[in-house]
Amino acid sequence: MKAAFYERNQAIRIGEAERGAPGAGEIEIEVAYCGICGTDVGIYHGKMDWRVTASQIMGHEMSGVVGSVGEGVTGFAAGDRVTVMPLDPCGECPTCRAGYDHICENLKFLGIDTPGAFQERWIVPAHTVRRLPEDLPLSRAALIEPLAVACHDVRLAELAPNDLAVVLGGGPIGTLIALVARQAGARVIVSEINPYREQHLEALGLEAVDPRAVDLPALVEESSEGAGADVVFEATGHPSAAEMMTRLPKARGLIVAVGIFAKPPEIDLFQFFWRELRLCGARVYENRDFDQAIELAASGDLPLDRLISDIYSLDELKKGLDLMSTGGDVMKILVQCGDRA
C-alpha cells in the first residue's frame, strides 16, 4: 500500500509501506481523507526533528472506514465510518491521574510520535476511534479534529451569550474558534493580517479586521461600551499578538492561549496586575470536546465545508505542504489517501 514519508527538511517520499494487521486492541482504518495541519507543516520544515524521527508518516486530521479489527476489540466492525481522536495517554502519570490525560506527561500524539494517516490504511489503538453519524460526509469529518480544538478553547473560555470575544489569528484554528464562539452566542471580532483570510472570514459572516489598518483596542472599546473584550483568544503564536492580547480584555477578562510560541514572547504583566486579567492555556481537547465537534459537524450548523480550500491526492502531499507554507490563499487542504470518499 501507498504512504507518504517525511524524510528530512522539505523532503517527502511517496512509497510503499507494508500493510500490517491490527494487533490486540487495535483497529485498521481505510483512510478516506486527512487534512494538512499547521503541525504537519512545522514537521515538514524540520522544526520538530527533535521529536519526529524519519522516515515518519504524518497526519492526524482524518476520516475513514474500518477495515478490520484486532483481537478483543468490541463495538466496531468492518465498514463502520469513523474518525480518530489521536491522543494516546499513559494513564499513570500525575497529570493523567488528576483527570487531565489529554495533556499527559508521556502523551503519544498519533501522527507525530507514532505513524499517522497519510497512508492508505492506518492502524490505531481502538480507544482512539470514534464512530461518525451516518449523514456526515467523510470530507467534512476530516475537520472534526481541529474543530475539537476550537470546542475545547471555547469551553474553557466559559463564554456567555452576547459576550464580546476577540480572536487573534484567522487561520483554520482561529476561524473555527470564531465559528464555535458565535454558535455559543458570543459577538466575535477576528484579527487577521492576510487579506485572503480576512475576506474568507467576512464571507462566513464574521467581522474581520487587519490590526495594522484598524486600531483594534479602540474598536474593541467601542464594541463593548468602553469595557473591553470578555475573552481574547490568542491563536497566532506571534509576538505581536502577545503584545496586543493584554490591551483588549475587560477588567478581570480572560485570555486563552492557543497559539504555539517558538520563543517566549514579551508580555505586559503590568496589565494582568492593573486590570486583574486572567490567562488560561488550552491544548488539544478532551473527550467531551471531541464529542461536541462530531455533533456540531453533523448538525450542519457551521459552514465547515467552506473551510476546505482543495482536495489533493496522496501524491500531491508535498504540493499541499508547500502551498500551506507560503501562508497564501489557502485555508484547509485535505488529502485523499485511498479509494474511500
Lookup result for grid cell 505513524 = 115
- Beta-bridge mates of residue 121: 30
173 binds Zn ion, rule: CB under 5 A: no
- Minimum distance from CB of 211 to Zn ion (Å)? 25
Which range binds Zn ion by CB under 5 A, 34-42, 204-212, 228-236, 317-325? 34-42
Q: Rounded distance, CA 171 to CA 241, Å?
A: 14
Q: Rounded distance, CA 281 to CA 190, Å?
A: 19
Q: Rounded distance, CA 257 to CA 290, Å?
A: 19
Q: Rounded distance, CA 339 to CA 341, Å?
A: 6
Q: Of 90 and 298, which CB lies nearer to Zn ion in the complex structure? A: 90
Q: Rounded distance, CA 333 to CA 223, Å?
A: 34
Q: Rounded distance, CA 236 to CA 170, Å?
A: 8
Q: Among 37, 144, 242, 257, which residue interacts with Zn ion (rule: CB under 5 A)? A: 37
Q: Rounded distance, CA 245 to CA 267, Å?
A: 9
Per rule CB under 5 A, count of chain residues that contact Zn ion: 6
- Beta-bridge mates of residue 131: 82
Q: Rounded distance, CA 336 to CA 341, Å?
A: 8
**CA separation, residue 11 to residues 1, 54, 337 (Å):** 20, 10, 19
Which range binds Zn ion by CB under 5 A, 9-17, 96-104, 121-129, 199-207? 96-104
Q: Among 82, 104, 138, 184, which residue interacts with Zn ion (rule: CB under 5 A)? A: 104
258 binds Zn ion, rule: CB under 5 A: no
93 binds Zn ion, rule: CB under 5 A: yes
Q: Of 98 and 213, which CB lies nearer to Zn ion in the complex structure? A: 98
Question: Amino acid identity, residue 212?
Answer: R
48 binds Zn ion, rule: CB under 5 A: no
- Minimum distance from CB of 39 to Zn ion (Å)? 5
89 binds Zn ion, rule: CB under 5 A: yes
Q: Among 90, 227, 279, 308, which residue interacts with Zn ion (rule: CB under 5 A)? A: 90
96 binds Zn ion, rule: CB under 5 A: yes
Q: Of 112 and 302, which CB lies nearer to Zn ion in the complex structure? A: 112
Q: Of 93 and 280, which CB lies nearer to Zn ion in the complex structure? A: 93
Which range binds Zn ion by CB under 5 A, 33-41, 64-72, 131-139, 238-246? 33-41
Lookup result for grid cell 485535505 = 334
Cell numbers linked to 18: 507494508
Q: Of 4 and 96, which CB lies nearer to Zn ion in the complex structure? A: 96
331 binds Zn ion, rule: CB under 5 A: no
Residues near Zn ion (CB under 5 A): 37, 89-90, 93, 96, 104
